Structure 1
Amino acid sequence: MKNTVLIPTYRRPLDLSRCLLALQAQTKPVDRVIVVVRDIDAQTWEFLAQFSPHNLPLHIVKVTVPGVVAALNAGLAAVEGDIVSITDDDAVPHPDWLEKINAHFICDRRIGGVGGRDWVHQGNKVIDDSRQIVGKLQWFGRVIGNHHLGVGEPREVDVLKGVNMSFRQEAIAQLRFDERMRGTGAQVHFEMAFTLALKQAGWKLIYDPQVAVDHYPAQRFDEDQRNNFNEIAFINLVHNETLVLLEYLPLFRRAVFLLWAILVGTRDSLGLVQWLRLLPSQGQLAGKKCWASLRGRWHGWQTHRQFKSQN
């Protein structure tokens, strides 16, 4: 099988260099590496002009629209081969990453996507907790991630994580990442829309903790600053999650999801119960998060209804 690796990047030349060096060290040589670069990203263009890849078939794609969705869709248009593997510029695939990915696709023609663990590095510490439940969508709409904590045997999942996910070209065909995802950078939950669409089409998605990358979360250059609250980023996150689930869940489960989301929610997408739980420790911040979550739900509902009315 021929493998293409797709990497969207923005203003992280040192991280990108580390990622590319890891691809050079793969036990299964990569057939093509596509790096998608913003037109205004002078730092990365300068780095790539000086970078001398050793046995690395590098192909650079320029994109003018901000956000990971536009970058990945531009990259997908340039993919060649049987398998496309996507990772972030701040990730370092383990040497046997492509070898293990290929093994899954070869053993079962029904597998459309493969993902694995991203070992998150925070300073000098590696998050080494463990979870058995990974990448699952519960019946009422709660999504359990835990991709960075997964242990155990390979198993079927509902959702893969953007930093470590691979797809069979035959499975994704003309499928593209949803351009309705809000945000100007990370566009959180973009991969959920993509992988749930594959699941809905009947393809199997596999999570294997041994398909691993080291993840060094780097600075983001948009409104989403990871652990720091930003109202716009919070609204965008909840909008994206809401839109994806409203379009994936059947009618009854859709209604249950909206009720649960508004009344309960999660730490990332607060409902009233989560607001009350966080109120003693976070005070006014909990209220801001809850209000942003409710606005995000409403915006997601509006986007969903608008799309339905146009189609």
Structure 2
Amino acid sequence: MKNTVLIPTYRRPQDLSRCLLALQVQTKPVDQIIVVIRDTDKETWQFLAEFPAHNLPIQTLTVTSPGVVAALNTGLAAVTGDIVSITDDDAAPHPDWIEKLNTHFMADSCIGAVGGRDWVHQNNKLEDGSQAIVGKLQWFGRVIGNHHLGVGQAREVDVLKGVNMSFRQIAIKQMHFDQRMRGTGAQVHFEMAFTLALKRVGWKIIYDPQVAVNHYPAQRFDEDQRHNFNEIAFINLVHNETLALLNYLSPLRQFIFLFWAILVGTRDSLGFIQWLRLLPSQGQLAGKKWLASLRGRWQGWQTYQQCRIEP
């Protein structure tokens, strides 16, 4: 079983170096490493020209469009492996990452995707914790993530996290990452749209906490800055979430989801009740988030209605 690792990168050569060094010490060697780089990213091109590959099978590809979706679709077109594993440039897979992924794919031919835990390191501190419920879509449309805190046995889930997800090539050969996802960098929830589309056609999706990467969330060079409110990024996030879920849910569940999302919502995609809950502590910021969430919901619905596509 041949393995390809796909890494989209942008202006983070030091993080990319750590990622590539982690791939050098895999207990099962990688057969192909595809690094997709923006054409304007001179510092990363310079880094790779000087990087001591030590027989790593690195293939570099150029992308001219901004955003992770364009980068990943460019990479998918060049995959030669039976399994394609995707990680971020600011992550470092554990040495047995590829080996454990392969164990799952070899055990069950109905498994289309496998993901695992990303151990998050923030400011030299490990974000520890444990959650049994990971990557699940509740019946009314709420998505529970917790991929960075998952514990327990391997189990079926609904969605994976982009920093640690792998796919059987024959399962996704007719698919692409949804180009309707908004944003010029992270394009939050792009992986939700992709994994839900895979699940919709009947493939099993597995989450195993033992399939792990270390994750060092790095600076983003777009409107979506971590831990800071940006209206455009917030609208994009809610738009992408709305579109991904509408594309997956049945008409009845679509109605239930939109009703719940507008009335209640979550901390990341506010509904009316979440706005009331956050108002005492966040004041005007809560109002800005609520209005941005409403705009994102409306725009997500419009995109869904205007351009329904099969992934």
Cα separation, 2, equivalents of 1:68 and 1:291: 26
Deviation for aligned residue 1:308 = 3.9
CA distance in 2, matches of 1:308, 1:230: 28
Q: Distance in 2 between matches of 1:156 and 1:195?
A: 12
Q: Does 1:49 align with 2:49?
A: yes
Letter in 2 for 1:295: R
Counterpart position of 1:140: 140
- Distance in 1 (CA, whole Å) between partners of 2:129 and 2:122 is 13
AA partner of residue 72 (structure 2): L
Structure 1 residue ranges (4+ consecutive) displaced by more than 2 angstroms after TM superposition = none
Q: Which residue number corresponds to residue 9 of structure 1?
A: 9
Aligned counterpart, 1:201: 201
Is 1:219 the counterpart of 2:219 in the alignment? yes
Deviation at 1:267, TM superposition (A): 0.2
**Match of residue 26 from structure 2:** 26
Q: CA offset at residue 174 of structure 1?
A: 1.8
Q: Provide the residue aligned with 1:96 in structure 2.
A: 96
CA displacement at 1:158 relative to structure 2: 0.2
Match of 1:40 in 2: 40
> SS at 1:148's partner residue?
helix
Aligned residue for 2:86, secondary structure, equals strand
Give the aligned residue type for 1:146: N
Corresponding residue for 2:150? 150
Q: Name the structure 1 match of 2:70.
A: 70
TM-fit CA distance, 1:98: 0.2
The AA in structure 1 aligned to 2:274 is Q
Gaps of 5+ in 1: none
1:80-119 deviation line (CA, Å, top 9, x unaligned): 0200000000000000000000000000000000000000
The one-character-per-residue Cα deviations of 1:175-194 (angstroms, maximum 9, x if unpaired) are: 00000000000000000111
The residue identity in structure 2 corresponding to 1:12 is: R
Residue 123 (structure 1) shift:
1.2
Structure 2 counterpart of 1:210, one-letter code = Q
Q: What residue identity is the alignment partner of 1:9? A: T
Cα distance in 1 for residues equivalent to 2:308 and 2:86 = 30
Instruction: Determine the C-alpha separation between the residues in 2 that align with 1:295 and 1:194.
Output: 23
Q: TM-score, normalised by structure 2?
A: 0.99
Kindly provide the CA deviation profile for residues 23-71 of structure 1, in whole angstroms up to 9, marking residues without a partner as x.
0000000000000000000110000111120120000000000000000
Q: CA RMSD in A?
A: 1.0
Amino acid at match of 1:255: F
- Give the structure 2 partner of residue 264 of structure 1: 264
Partner of 2:190: 190
Q: How far, CA to CA, are the matches of 2:260 and 2:272 in structure 1?
A: 10
Q: Which amino acid aligns with 1:37?
A: I
| Counterpart in the other structure of 1:232 | 232
2:254 alignment partner in structure 1: 254
Write the mapping of 1:95-174 to structure 2, written as runs, cut at 5 A. Answer: 95-174=95-174
Post-superposition offset of 1:76: 0.3
